[in-house]
Every structure is written in structure tokens, then in C-alpha cells.
């Protein structure tokens, strides 16, 4: 299916107002997001790192770069919906930076509002803020609150915050463990922030990252994660800083070169 055919098909589906999960719509997602060989290699390397009981300092540093490369590489695999802007921002402390992904360069008559609606975004909040955590610890309350603060105060055009992690976040249900009977920690903050701001913060762990290896994986994963915030059934998933733009590291710039698309 060519890019023009994909766009035309999506325009037709948008006019029919098909619901999320529709088989035909799922087929379109699979054409929008197609992981390349390089991204799959990066994910496999990161999965192998996650198995190490006592990684060295060099291995931990490499894992951080891998996680960032996976995040950039995944969004680079969905150019057909215009995620052509990947920028890097540093906090005032200089200790943390986030990727900001925007959908800007779109074909004429492309139903961006339908894309945003499916992902739980309004058309005026069409960018995403990404933080990468390749540590052995889970995302904690303070880190989760910081992401919420960025969405609420620093980058108001952002509708979703996404954590790329190995172990997920505190309070979230874990695979192989009993259903959680109460909301706590980051999971509770996630729901409160959604109610107050109508914006979503989602967390991807190493199991979720494996889904990025299949066509449609990233978009389907984000849709499901956003929908799960409202469910909160206790089961695992199938202060503001001033920001300034910073240069993307060389090891991430490589992934943005045209030659990496194939």
C-alpha cells in the first residue's frame, strides 16, 4: 500500500467514524508504523541487558543510550502521520532531558484530528513528551510528578507523556502477580492527573517495548495504555522546571538520518 493509498483510506475511515479496535482501522495502524531492522536490533540488545543481574557501569551507560535510541527510532518509524519533529530539551538543572515529538508536516486534507482523537489527544495538544529510564529502579512518585508538571506548565501543547523504562513505575500492576486492590503511588497520580488536566502519562516497560518490534505496535500500544487509565482494573497492561532546547546526542542524530529509514 502506497503512502497516498494509506492516506486516502484513512480519510475514508475517518468519515465513517470507525471506533478504535476496528479490524480495518487496525490494518491502517500497521501501515503507519513499520519497525525497521535497526530498531529491532536496538530492542533486542536492550532486552538482553535487562536480563543482567549485575551490569557494569559501562553496560548501564550503554543501556541509557539504547533506551533513548529505541524511543527515537520508534517514532522515526511512523513518518506517514507526520512525526517529523524530534527535539531534545534539558531541564534547568541540566540533569535530565526529554524528547518532544510533534506532528507538524502533514499532507493536505489529512485527518489529524481523527488521529489525535484515537490516541486520546485534542488537535491542539498533538505533541508527546518522552522520558527514558533504563535503570533497575521503577519510575518513582517524584519523577512521575515531574512529567505531569512538564505537561501542565512547560509544554502545554503536549497531550501525552510517555516513559520508556525497563521496570515500569511504582504502584502499577505487575505481570504474574495478584490483581491490585487499590490505587497507589504513580498509578494513583496517573488517574488524578488525567481527571484534572485531561492529559495522559503512560509507562512502557521492557515487555511493552517488545511490542514495538511488530507493525502497528507503537500506535496500538499507546492507544491501549491511554484507554487503560480509565479502566484501572488492577491488572497489568496487555515542581515545574524551565526547559531549554538542547542538541540531540550524536548517537541519536544517526537515527534521524534518511539512510536509517530502510
Residue spans of the domains in the chain: they are 3-253
Position 241 scores a pLDDT of: 38
**Torsion angle, CA of 235/208/76/230, rounded to 10 degrees?**
0
Packing angle of the helix pair 23-32, 3-16 (nearest 10 deg): 150
Which residues partner with 87 through β-bridges? Answer: 100
- Which three cell numbers mark 185? 503511588
Output the CA torsion 179→165→151→112 (10° steps): -90
- With 50 as the cut, is the pLDDT of residue 209 above it? yes
Contacts of 113 (CB under 8 A, 6+ apart): 123
What mean pLDDT comes out for the span 213-233? 82
What pLDDT score does 234 carry?
A: 46
The pair phi, psi for residue 200, each rounded to 5°, is -120, 140
Answer yes or no: is pLDDT of 150 > 60.
yes
Strand partners, 98: 89
DSSP 182: S
**β 158-165/127-133 pair status:** parallel
C-alpha cell at 251: 548517537
| Distance between CA atoms of residues 175 and 165, nearest Å | 15
Confidence of residue 47 (pLDDT cuts 50, 70, 90): very high
Task: List the single range of 30-39, 45-54, 164-173, 180-189 with lowest mean pLDDT.
Answer: 180-189
The model's pLDDT over 51-95, given as tens digits with 9 standing for 90+, comes to: 999 999 999 999 999 999 999 899 888 765 444 455 555 555 444
Q: Cβ contacts of residue 77 below 8 Å, gap of 6+?
A: 33, 34, 35, 36, 39, 218
pLDDT band at 19 (very low <50, low <70, confident <90, very high): low
Asked if residue 236 has pLDDT above 60, the reply is: no
Phi then psi dihedrals of residue 129, to 5 deg: -105, 130
Amino acid at each position: 500500500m502506497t503512502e497516498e493509498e494509506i492516506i486516502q483510506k484513512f480519510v475514508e475511515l475517518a468519515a465513517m467514524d470507525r471506533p478504535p479496535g476496528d479490524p480495518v482501522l487496525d490494518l491502517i495502524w500497521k501501515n503507519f508504523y513499520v519497525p525497521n531492522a535497526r530498531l529491532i536490533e536496538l530492542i533486542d540488545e536492550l532486552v538482553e541487558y535487562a536480563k543482567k543481574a549485575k551490569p557494569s557501569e559501562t553496560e548501564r551507560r550503554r543501556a541509557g543510550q539504547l533506551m533513548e535510541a529505541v524511543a527515537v527510532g520508534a517514532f522515526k518509524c511512523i513518518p506517514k502521520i507526520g512525526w517529523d519533529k524530534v527535539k531534545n530539551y534539558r531541564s534547568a538543572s541540566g540533569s535530565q532531558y526529554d524528547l518532544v515529538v510533534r506532528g507538524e508536516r502533514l499532507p493536505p486534507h489529512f485527518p489529524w484530528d481523527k488521529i489525535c482523537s484515537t490516541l486520546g489527544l485534542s488537535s491542539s495538544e498533538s505533541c508527546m513528551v518522552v522520558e527514558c529510564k533504563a535503570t533497575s529502579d521503577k519510575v518513582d512518585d517524584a519523577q512521575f510528578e515531574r512529567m505531569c508538571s512538564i505537561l501542565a506548565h512547560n509544554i502545554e501543547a503536549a497531550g501525552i507523556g510517555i516513559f520508556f523504562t525497563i521496570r515500569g513505575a511504582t504502584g502499577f500492576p505487575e505481570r504474574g502477580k495478584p490483581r491490585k486492590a487499590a490505587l497507589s503511588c504513580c498509578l494513583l497520580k496517573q488517574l488524578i492527573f488525567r481527571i484534572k488536566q485531561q492529559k495522559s502519562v503512560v509507562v512502557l516497560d521492557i515487555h511493552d517495548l517488545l511490542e514495538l518490534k511488530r507493525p502497528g505496535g507503537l500506535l496500538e500500544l499507546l492507544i491501549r495504555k491511554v484507554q487503560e487509565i480509565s479502566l484501572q482494573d488492577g491488572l497489568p497492561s496487555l515542581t515545574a522546571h524551565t526547559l531549554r532546547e538542547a542538541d540531540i546526542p550524536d548517537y541519536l542524530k544517526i537515527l534521524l538520518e534518511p539512510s536509517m529509514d530502510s
